[in-house]
Structure 1
Amino acid sequence: MAPPRMVPALADVLLEEIFVRIDSPADLARASTACVAFHRLITDPSFLRRYRSLHPPLLLGFLDFDGCGFRPPDETHPSAALARAIARTTDLTFNGYYPRAAGAYWQLWDIRDGRVLFKSGPEDDNEVITEFAVCDPLARRCLQLPPIPNALLASVQVQKQYFEGSDAALVPSGEEDDDTSFRVIARMDFIEKVVAFVFSSDAWRWSVGTSISWYALSLPRGYDEMSWTADYAYGCFYWKFADLNGCLKLDMSSMEFSTVDLLPGFDFDMNFFTIVEAGEGRLGIFTLTNNDTSLCYCTVRQNGGERSDQLNLGDKIPLPAGLSSHPGLGLLLRHAAGVELGDDTGV
């Protein structure tokens, strides 16, 4: 008597549990070519999101803010060969396929989930910066986002306020997000308030995320002493204050601005300051100390309010003599899966 056939749905579940345990993205890509059923399972967006959550992406190198191009990792790095292959087949200078409007200057601004965000500066210092573009370097595609409508500015009563400056970032994709969709957060600073606008590729429009007055944040009117790029950890964006030992925090789940004290007495250099997830809800902070001769790492546990506590100082790592440091030099470029998986390949 022939053994009973396995229920197809159960077979898919077992195969997924096997595939998700494959450590190498290259091996996973090869498995996807074995048969149609394997390819269907491995290229399913829900499986790929799960796989990426369990297997950190590989380091490919760095993209410079200043337009110097791609910097691959050292030859001894495990992903050096992959980085060379990507560099040979991909135009990481973005020449020829990002917007080149007359008089516009496009600057590389952020990288996340396989996409690169470009930001264009205005000719007039008081003009609201509304020009953004999102590129996929592997597919050589670029989408220029529509400007923030005047009606949206009017809805938060800033259309006649003096414009102080802005920042923008790609919002990390959630587990349930479609791989083809993305969001951009734009922080706009005006004389009376700070506003967060959110762009959704699904709706293809901007909306108001939140706004708050500088007074409500206990900051001076027209405050503009903040870091020019954001860090992201545990669902929140952080911008370091230049003259205060703290950060402006934007919680993306509650869509609320607040200020966070990073504990007085510890010297943070805003130009060389990065917040990361340190595990167990703690914030990890990298900064340069001792006249930029050492790299310091510490962890901070927040108590749920505006003040942080339990500062744990880590090691101070001496930097090589004569090392030239440049704030905001580059953005980390990472690779999430083998190029054989097509559009799911990420940087």
Structure 2
Amino acid sequence: MEELEEEILLRFPPHEPALFVHAMVVCKRWQRIVSSPAFLRRFRELHRTPPMLGFLCNIAEGNSSAAFVTTVTQEFSSGNLGDCRALDARHGRVLLKCPGSSKNFLLVWDPMTDEHQELSLPVLRRYTYDWNAAVLCAARGPCDHLDCCGGPFLVVFVGSGSGEAFICTYSSDAGTWSELIATELATDAVSLMPSVLVGNALYFGFLIRKSLLKYDLESHEMSVIGVPHTLNIWKHVALDGGVGLATVHESKLCLWRKAGPEVDAGWTQDRVIELEPLLPGDAFLTSPDVVGCADGIGVIFLGARLVLFTIDLKTYEVKKVCKGRNC
């Protein structure tokens, strides 16, 4: 019955986008249904957590450059992004560091529309040892981030040097960088690992002295959070609405959670996942390493011998998503 067609189409699996292309060529009525904004909105609301259709990674082969790798059966987009390096991806946008004619610049890219905007790096007027940046939606009022592409965005720039850490922000509405704010609580080099957004706070990692830098997007305050010294190689991740840490130790994926919302609250081990039953045997010829996470959907990336795996923290399902490249 026609009145049930839309209800059936709404229940197509979101991780197989090519099915909608097939549906659109069945007849003009189905094409109108599938392409209508009302259907897209209902589809997003029904499935809520979006699937991971692909990921951006930096390929360390000669000069490191960003590449898009699809994880669906039917390839819809892939390839290299020139000489640019991916820094962050969130709320439908990608932040890239690209070489320019005279100096590096940032590029905010919408992969769905291929629209992009170049941003000059902020003028810091102070020595910068290392820096990183994040991108996120800047919509006024509540936003579920289901279709906020094309709206205002915010870029947060964090750097370190001369015994301090500092942050400034770029608003697409204002079109300028904000004044610099700084703290003397951190003296380490900022890590190039991507930021993690938890609630209204962004978290950045530091390299030498094990710590995280928390930046509150509402109060514009910074604070430094210590990391357990028992962890050697770790990545900060989002865990069920809170900030966490992930590391591999003796063939086990160890997840740590902040004991409380306070800055000085300690860390507790959340769970330990045995990797030997999940990964192929040759993955342990060299120790696997946590190389990143997919923000908001509970997926951890593990690298082992030029092979990249994902592990779903809800189902413990493991997938091989890239092979033969140093991601």
The normalised TM-score by structure 2 is: 0.64
- The question of 1:119 aligning with 2:97 is answered yes
- Name the CA distance, whole Å, in 1 between partners of 2:219 and 2:266: 19
5 Å matches for 1:332-343? none
- Name the CA distance, whole Å, in 2 between partners of 1:256 and 1:133: 26
2:173 corresponds to which residue? Answer: 202
- Name the CA distance, whole Å, in 1 between partners of 2:100 and 2:242: 38
1:304 corresponds to which residue? Answer: 262
1:101 corresponds to which residue? Answer: none
5 Å matches for 1:216-295? 217=185, 219=186, 223-235=187-199, 236-262=201-227, 264=228, 266-269=230-233, 272-277=234-239, 279=240, 281-290=241-250, 294-295=252-253
- The question of 1:107 aligning with 2:85 is answered yes
- Name the CA distance, whole Å, in 2 between partners of 1:35 and 1:68: 34
- Name the CA distance, whole Å, in 1 between partners of 2:45 and 2:120: 32
- Name the CA distance, whole Å, in 2 between partners of 1:164 and 1:108: 19
The 3 A distance-change label for structure 1 pair 274 and 123 is farther
Q: CA deviation at 1:255?
A: 2.1
Q: CA deviation at 1:91?
A: 5.1
- The question of 1:317 aligning with 2:314 is answered no
Aligned residues: 270
The 3 A distance-change label for structure 1 pair 61 and 211 is closer
Q: Deviations over 1:82-126 (max 9, x none)?
A: 3xx21xxx353134xxxxxxxxx63222222333221146999xx
The percent identity for this pair of structures is 19
Q: CA deviation at 1:333?
A: 11
Q: CA deviation at 1:135?
A: 2.1
- Name the CA distance, whole Å, in 2 between partners of 1:305 and 1:334: 22
The 3 A distance-change label for structure 1 pair 331 and 305 is closer
- Name the CA distance, whole Å, in 2 between partners of 1:165 and 1:143: 23
SS of 2:168's equivalent in the other structure is: strand
5 Å matches for 1:132-171? 132-148=106-122, 150=123, 153=124, 159=125, 161-171=126-136
2:183 corresponds to which residue? Answer: 213
RMSD (CA atoms): 4.2
Q: CA deviation at 1:164?
A: 1.9
Q: CA deviation at 1:134?
A: 1.6
- Name the CA distance, whole Å, in 1 between partners of 2:260 and 2:38: 40
**Cα contact 2:190–2:207 (8 A) shared by 1:** yes
Q: Deviations over 1:275-325 (max 9, x none)?
A: 222x2x4433211224xx543233333242322244334234246232476
The 3 A distance-change label for structure 1 pair 284 and 43 is same
- Name the CA distance, whole Å, in 2 between partners of 1:142 and 1:249: 28
Higher helix share: 1
2:80 corresponds to which residue? Answer: 93
The 3 A distance-change label for structure 1 pair 284 and 172 is farther
**Cα contact 1:273–1:286 (8 A) shared by 2:** yes
Quick one: which of 105, 108, 113 aligns to 1:131? 105
5 Å matches for 1:21-36? 22=11, 24-25=13-14, 26=17, 30=23, 34=30
Amino acid of the structure 2 residue aligned with 1:135? W
Q: CA deviation at 1:258?
A: 0.5
Amino acid of the structure 2 residue aligned with 1:64? N
2:159 corresponds to which residue? Answer: 188
2:49 corresponds to which residue? Answer: 55
**Cα contact 1:185–1:197 (8 A) shared by 2:** yes
- Name the CA distance, whole Å, in 2 between partners of 1:60 and 1:274: 21
Amino acid of the structure 1 residue aligned with 2:84? W
Which ranges of structure 1 fall in alignment gaps of 5 or more residues?
1-15, 74-78, 96-104, 154-158, 336-347
The normalised TM-score by structure 1 is: 0.61
- Name the CA distance, whole Å, in 2 between partners of 1:192 and 1:50: 47
The 3 A distance-change label for structure 1 pair 51 and 312 is same
Q: CA deviation at 1:40?
A: 3.9
SS of 2:188's equivalent in the other structure is: coil
Higher strand share: 2
